[in-house]
Every structure is written in structure tokens, then in C-alpha cells.
Amino acid sequence: MYGEHVTSVDGPAAQPAPPIPPADPTPASPAAHPHPHPHWPAGAVQVAEPDRFTRFVVGLYDRAPRWAVPLAALGCVGVGVAYALVSDPTRAAPDALPTCLLKLTTGLDCPGCGGTRALWYVLHADLPAAARHHFLFVFALPFLAYLFVAWGAKQAFGWRLPELRISPKMIGGFLVAWLVFSVARNLPWVPFTSLYV
């Protein structure tokens, strides 16, 4: 109406935008600005630069052939197997001190007690003796071995083996069973005393 700038076609003309004040050349204190940088938009996130070691590891991983990581993991498994074979944990003297810190200090079997002996018996194809020392380790071993082989084959050669579907509920159930087993093997009554190693 009166006082408005009207064009002949479509009504009031757009009002000019207010001028943007120039940036203050003097830096203010960090407490004066709620954002990491005074001229960054709200919600902007500053990504920290990786340190030298992280850059080295990432660069090494990028340059390494795709079979290097599975080979390194296989080497770690091989070291564990070699330790079990060389140490022969089944031949410890009856009065030898336990190597498990929990058992040494409390006399109780920890959740992993008997695992090395179970591995030794598995490597010698004596599954009953292995299960006697750590039943849940023997139960989980085929699944862990298959998951490792499937992962390694995919990483190294791009092979896709049939996927082993393990849901979070199954993992939770296994952890609960492991907890129950760990408590039961320390109970001082028959038949739980047969689980003590």
C-alpha cells in the first residue's frame, strides 16, 4: 500500500538484505565464543589430526597386501598353539604354584582356568580330557575356528564362505553360560567338585 515499493507485476519488491559486518581482526578469548572457531557455523565439528604413530599404522595397513593381516593373526594363533605344545601344561608338578593370578591368590578357578590344558588335549585329539579341563572352550573352539577361517579367506583371497550367523542373544546366552560354569566349577559340593581344575 502506501509507502511500499511496488513493481508493476507481482507486488512488493524484496527488501535489501542488511549488510554483514566485517570480521573482527583481533582474536577474542576462547571463552567469548561458544564454538571452536568464531567464524565456524553452529554445529561444526573439528576433526583432530591423527598423531604420527596412527598415521604410520594406517599408512602401513594401506600399503600392505590384503593377506598380511590374516597372516599376522594366524601367526598369533600359531604362537599360542606353540606355547601350549612346548610348555605341556598337563605335566606340572602336583605342588607347583598355579600360573593364574586369581587361583594363586584366592585358590579359585578363573573363567579361563584349564583353557591351555584343554587346548593341549585338543591338539592331541583327546576331546574327553579337553572337555574335562574346560568344556566351554572345547564347545566354542569349532565356531571360533570357522569364523577365523571365513574372515581370513575373505580378507586374503576375497572368498565368501557361508556366513555363520551368531545373534547378540546367542552371544549373551553363551556369556551367561560361561558365568554359570565359572561359578559352578568353584562350588565345594559334589558334583561340582568334578569341574575343579
Tell me the one-letter amino acid at 103.
Answer: K
Long-range contacts of 156-164 (CB under 8 A, 24+ apart): 156/66, 156/67, 156/70, 156/71, 157/67, 158/66
pLDDT of 102 reads 82
What's the rounded Cα separation, in Å, for the pair 120 and 126?
Answer: 9
- Asked whether residue 19 carries a pLDDT value surpassing 90, the answer given is no
Comparing CA positions, the residue from 151, 144, 10 lying closest to residue 80 is 144
pLDDT of 124 reads 93
* DSSP calls for 22-50: PPPSSPPPGGG-SSSSTTSPTT--PPPPP
Domain ranges of the chain: 66-91+98-195
- Residue 43: how many CB atoms within 10 A of its CB? 6
- Asked whether residue 111 carries a pLDDT value surpassing 70, the answer given is yes
- Asked whether residue 48 carries a pLDDT value surpassing 90, the answer given is no
Q: 12 or 104, which is more confident?
A: 104
pTM of the full structure: 0.63
Lowest pLDDT segment from 92-96, 109-113, 147-151, 162-166: 92-96
What's the rounded Cα separation, in Å, for the pair 121 and 127?
Answer: 7
* DSSP calls for 41-92: PTT--PPPPP-HHHHHHHHHHHHS-TTHHHHHHHHHHHHHHHHHHHH-GGG-
**pLDDT per residue over 53-96, tens digit each?**
888 888 887 888 888 888 999 999 999 899 888 888 888 776 77
Mean pLDDT for the chain overall: 80
Comparing CA positions, the residue from 126, 132, 127 lying closest to residue 109 is 132
